[in-house]
A and B are shown apart, each in its own frame.
Chain A
Amino acid sequence: MITLEKYKEQIDTYFDNTPPSEIIKRFEALGYEFEPIDNSVDSNNLPIAEINQEVICVEEIGIFDMQDEFSESLYESEFPPVSGVYFSNVILFQKTLSHNVLDSSDISFEDFDVSEEFNFFSQKVETCNKDYEQLENTQRAMAA
């Protein structure tokens, strides 16, 4: 079977030696259109407080795991969606709940991609104070 162990070196070597523009060009040929991104915000320069706050959000909300019985029962419940928290595992949580509660069912498979984080860091950084308040409410509801 094709495994990462067998191909990691080959993959890494290829990408180390291929200019991104070449890869982007290939996808353009498939019909993709690309736009420049605003790099004025660098995730490495985020204030520590903001980063910590995001981490707290992630830690407290946890990961929505459909293989977990609790999460499955939550999925079935009438539980309000959480908005505005940007880490991918929380987005997974958020969007799955939104999908259930709001019937916003036009969510594509790609929504779970790590590009969510990429988009977040490359666009606009916002603190999640407001969202944290929602998370606290969410947690209270979960505890109840």
Chain B
Amino acid sequence: MSDTITLEGFHGTSSLNADAILKGGFRSSLGDKEWLGDGVYFFTEGISSPQNNAVKWAIAQSWDNTEKKQTYIDYSVIKANICVEEDRFLDLTSSEGMKFFNHLRNKYIESVKKGKVRPKNQDFKDGHIINDAREFLGIKIDVTKGNFPIRFETERVYNIKFRTPNTTILAVFDVNTIINNLSIIKKGIIK
């Protein structure tokens, strides 16, 4: 067994959700739109303040763009300790982690090339590759860390898009065993 790494994660959501999480724990996000594969997502220490990012995320997510209305006004930020065995931690903010991912990604591309096909309706998503590697290649990836460009309220309102990352995030796959010491560190009202 390898050494354990402990990371601090910050999760911004509605106060209602936050209370439910504190009582019943996190539910893992599944699906293809998650950047780093299945898991619960947190902001973490990196290229900007994770606490502020969690607040900004909670505010941005309160707006339902389909219904064109705000879905909550009370938000909370949950702090959690995330413990992961070092050899199950994929750090895409490091060159070593990126070399691993790029090699893996190239193998998927090669497979498509050998199959003489190409995706018709969408590009390959990083999260799908991570999920597939976890499930079919037997690579135990419990936590993935990466830098991402995220559009918060201001960027969304003013339609500002960028690709240089502004946040560092964690995707925690095994929510039951490696997230602990949950506490609400901030509550606020969206004006």
Chain A residues with a Cβ under 8 A of chain B = 1-8, 10-12, 14-15, 18, 20-21, 23-24, 26-27, 30-37, 39, 66, 96, 99, 105-110, 113-115, 118-119, 122
Contacts and interface: CB of A to CB of B under 8 A. Distances in A.
B118 A35 contact: yes
A119 B91 CA distance: 29
A99 B123 contact: no
B115 A15 contact: no
Contacts of A33: 119-121
B106 A110 contact: no
Interface in B118-174: 118-126, 128, 132-133, 136-139, 141, 149, 159-161, 163-164
B111 interface: yes
Contact of A39 (B107, B116, B149, B161): B116
Contact of B136 (A20, A26, A106): A26
Contact of A108 (B110, B112, B123): B123
B120 A7 contact: no
A108 B121 CA distance: 14
For chain B, give the interface size range: 35 or more
B176 interface: no
Interface of B: 32, 86-91, 94, 96-97, 99-100, 103-126, 128, 132-133, 136-139, 141, 149, 159-161, 163-164
Of A3, A31, A107, which is in contact with the most chain B CB atoms at under 10 Å from its CB? A3
A34 B124 contact: no
A32 B125 CA distance: 10
Nearest to B144: A2
B89 A2 contact: yes
Contact of B88 (A2, A66, A109): A2
Contacts of B96: 1, 3-5
20 contacts: A1-B94, A1-B96, A2-B89, A8-B103, A10-B139, A11-B104, A20-B112, A20-B114, A24-B111, A26-B136, A27-B128, A31-B122, A32-B121, A34-B112, A34-B120, A35-B118, A36-B116, A96-B163, A115-B109, A118-B113
Contact of A6 (B87, B115, B119): B87
Given A3-B96, A7-B139, A32 B118 contact: no
B185 to A, nearest CB: 28
A6 B104 CA distance: 13
Given A1-B97, A7-B139, A35-B120, A114 B112 contact: no
